[in-house]
């Protein structure tokens, strides 16, 4: 059994990690670290663990944590905070999967511009492996530090990647309209996230300037320049981004009155006429062997069909009149968009089948 620990165990992502790892047949939860709840029993904060092997588990403070006793550590911390903790942990003989935005960019100038935080460990940012399994599987297997992707980013990239490499795609036409449940904002008490502020309404926020805009663009352009080796469809020749125009996106997230889930509707123009069968071939080539990506043909993704699972559902419609492709992508933001994807990464690191501990279906109804 592999020993794993979680730092930031009492946030929404942390508790999802605990739930998944609690039922995982090949790992043992070693330490659960929480700054705000150190010394308390886990079941006093999350009663759903009463009667389980974690019934008497007492949360640890960071100063009492011994990282060398764990085979792998998940850091489920806010950006800016996580980079300090990871820099202390790195090199102590344990693997790390970080769920913040701190290590998703090899170019820390991009991170600093969009997050407004000075990056104190640029050398670790360059070492980190981006943890979108369907894109970067082989590098993940041997990684010491994995940067788990953002939730909106996961939904968007899975929908876009097969088409971005399509020779007919207009890379400057990408528009992403995405909706997320309230859990995506985390567990911190904020006035705009109170029940009466979110129930029975829907609102856009940070249109065009949300941080995940930069992550989507960054990974797309890394992919186009051959930084990621997997071929989705007919990958173009490597593009020199100093002389060629980069892929650009316009991204607007929305908050909707549900607890969990993301539905992204993505629009992309084609420069030449295509067909539904030609585009479907791209998606099937990209995902026909992927355990957690389902490409739908005769129906459209819905949040209720993926919530509570690690599955992503994708579909597209080609509109011949406008020569535009509409892509629909649905994931659970807390699972495939965070904790589930992190466990999928962990399985790769430990040379386990990717689906181990992640085969639960959606919680419907």
Residue 79 lies in a domain: yes
Residue 280 lies in a domain: yes
**Residue 310 shares a structural domain with residue 189:** yes
- Distance, in Å, from the CA atom of 118 to the CA atom of 115, rounded to the nearest integer, reads 9
pLDDT value, residue 196: 67
**Residue 137 shares a structural domain with residue 167:** no
**Residue 169 shares a structural domain with residue 235:** yes
**Residue 92 shares a structural domain with residue 19:** yes
**Residue 251 shares a structural domain with residue 345:** no
- Distance, in Å, from the CA atom of 154 to the CA atom of 219, rounded to the nearest integer, reads 11
Which residues are within 8 A (CB) of 56 and not within 5 positions of it... i.e. 6 or more apart? 41
- Distance, in Å, from the CA atom of 146 to the CA atom of 99, rounded to the nearest integer, reads 9
Residue 256 lies in a domain: yes
Give the three-class secondary structure for 152: helix
pLDDT value, residue 241: 39
- CATH number for the domain spanning 53: value is 3.40.50.720
**Residue 181 shares a structural domain with residue 123:** no
pLDDT value, residue 243: 35
- Neighbour-count burial of 93, counting CB atoms closer than 10 A to its CB (0-12 exposed, 13-18 middle, 19+ buried): exposed
Torsion of CA 280, 285, 291, 293, to 10 degrees: -40
pLDDT value, residue 239: 38
CA distances from 193 to 115, 196, 273, 308 (A): 21, 8, 44, 21
**Residue 307 shares a structural domain with residue 345:** no
Residue 356 lies in a domain: no
Residue 327 lies in a domain: yes
* Structural domains counted in the chain: 2
The residue whose two tokens read 């992309």 is 268
Tell me how long the chain is. 365
Residue 365 lies in a domain: no
> Given CA atoms 212, 254, 250, 344 in this order, what sign does their dihedral have?
positive
**Residue 9 shares a structural domain with residue 56:** yes
Residue-range definition of the domain harbouring residue 186: 152-331
pLDDT value, residue 168: 94
**Residue 274 shares a structural domain with residue 176:** yes
**Residue 17 shares a structural domain with residue 97:** yes
pLDDT value, residue 187: 63
pLDDT value, residue 258: 87
Instruction: Decide: 7 and 77 in contact? Cβ < 8 Å.
Output: yes
pLDDT value, residue 194: 72
pLDDT value, residue 246: 80
- Distance, in Å, from the CA atom of 80 to the CA atom of 164, rounded to the nearest integer, reads 31
Residue 271: CA count within 13 A, CB half-sphere: 10
Instruction: Decide: 263 and 330 in contact? Cβ < 8 Å.
Output: yes
Residue 305 lies in a domain: yes
Instruction: Decide: 216 and 158 in contact? Cβ < 8 Å.
Output: no
Give the three-class secondary structure for 96: strand
Mean pLDDT by runs of 10 across the 365 residues of the chain is 96 95 96 92 94 93 95 96 96 95 96 95 96 96 97 97 92 96 70 73 90 95 78 44 66 93 98 96 96 97 97 98 98 97 98 97 87
Residue 239 lies in a domain: yes
Give the three-class secondary structure for 294: strand
Q: Which residues are catalytic?
A: 151
Q: What is the pTM of this model?
A: 0.93
pLDDT value, residue 62: 95
- CATH number for the domain spanning 246: value is 3.30.360.10
**Residue 144 shares a structural domain with residue 166:** no
**Residue 126 shares a structural domain with residue 199:** no
Rg (C-alpha) for the chain, rounded Å, is 20
């Amino acid at each position: 059994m592999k020993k794993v620990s979680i730092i930031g165990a009492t946030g929404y992502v942390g508790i999802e990690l605990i739930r998944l790892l609690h039922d995982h047949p090949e790992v043992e939860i070693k330490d659960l670290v929480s700054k705000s709840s150190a010394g308390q029993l886990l079941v006093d904060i999350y009663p759903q663990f009463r009667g389980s092997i974690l019934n008497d588990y007492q949360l640890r403070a960071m100063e009492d944590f011994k990282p060398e006793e764990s085979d792998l550590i998940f850091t489920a911390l806010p950006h800016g905070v996580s980079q300090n903790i990871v820099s202390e942990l790195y090199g102590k003989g344990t693997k790390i999967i970080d769920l913040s935005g701190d290590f998703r960019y090899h170019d820390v100038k991009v991170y600093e511009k969009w997050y407004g935080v000075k990056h104190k460990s640029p050398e670790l940012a360059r070492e980190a492996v981006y943890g979108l399994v369907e894109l970067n599987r082989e590098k993940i297997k041997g990684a010491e530090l994995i940067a788990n992707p953002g939730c909106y980013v996961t939904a968007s990239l899975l929908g876009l990647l097969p088409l971005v490499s399509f020779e007919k795609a207009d890379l400057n036409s990408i528009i992403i309209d995405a909706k997320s449940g309230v859990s995506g904002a985390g567990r911190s008490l904020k006035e705009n996230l109170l029940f009466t502020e979110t129930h029975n309404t829907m609102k856009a926020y940070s249109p065009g300037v949300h941080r995940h805009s930069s992550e989507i663009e960054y990974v797309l352009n890394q992919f186009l320049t051959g930084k990621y080796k997997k071929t989705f469809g007919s990958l173009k020749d490597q593009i020199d981004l100093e002389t060629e125009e980069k892929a650009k996106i316009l991204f607007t997230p929305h908050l909707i009155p549900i607890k969990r889930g993301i539905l992204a509707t993505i629009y992309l123009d084609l420069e030449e006429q295509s067909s539904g069968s030609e585009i479907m071939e791209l998606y099937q080539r990209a995902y026909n062997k992927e355990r957690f990506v389902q490409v739908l043909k005769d129906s459209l993704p819905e949040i209720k069909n993926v919530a509570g699972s690690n599955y992503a559902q994708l579909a597209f419609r080609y509109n011949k009149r406008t020569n535009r492709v509409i892509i629909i992508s649905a994931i659970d933001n807390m699972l495939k968009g965070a904790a589930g994807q992190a466990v999928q990464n962990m399985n790769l690191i430990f040379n386990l089948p990717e689906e181990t501990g992640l085969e639960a279906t959606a919680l419907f109804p």
